[in-house]
Amino acid sequence: MDDLDSEILDILRRDGRISFSALGAAVGLSTNAASARVRKLEASGVIVGYRAVLADDLASDTSGLEAFIDVRLRPDADSETFMRAATAEPEVRDAAHVTGPYDYLLHVRVADTGRLNALLNRLKTRAGAGQTQTRLALRAPAEAQE
């Protein structure tokens, strides 16, 4: 994954229904090249699907699992590359570079443990994570309970 792929993912996050011609124009590619990039991202598992997000869902999205993942990078991993790869994952809500025994703290929401496992595998194989420690949130934040 390169900077152009990251730019494409940012655009698709904002508008998953954008046409390949408009996407290509936005990133300086032809329609066919933009389509090929998106298909490659889909085939490699970076893009796992598209969905309609309803206004009600945004206000009360408490489905699935909320987790916090401590990440220690491999010695050969690059921090900027990790951050780009991690924040490109749709399940990652926030990522912070932290002090202490771990390098990053990720706040994620996943549909189930299978999706959590897949995310952890992608972080290790594609993003440079060497070691992770995952903590599941057992209750929603106070503002979600009101």
What are the tens digits of pLDDT across the range 48-71?
A: 787 765 555 444 456 688 999 999
> Closest Cα to residue 73, out of 14, 132, 130?
130
Q: Please say if the pLDDT value at position 39 is more than 90.
A: yes
Q: What is the pLDDT of residue 13?
A: 83
CATH no., domain 58-138 = 3.30.70.920
What separation in angstroms does the CA of 55 have from each of 52, 58, 61? Answer: 10, 5, 10
Which single residue is written with the structure tokens 């309970």?
A: 145
CATH no., domain 3-43 = 1.10.10.10
Token output for 103: 């390098």
Which single residue is written with the structure tokens 């060497």?
A: 130
Domain ranges of the chain: 3-43, 58-138
Q: What is the pLDDT of residue 61?
A: 52
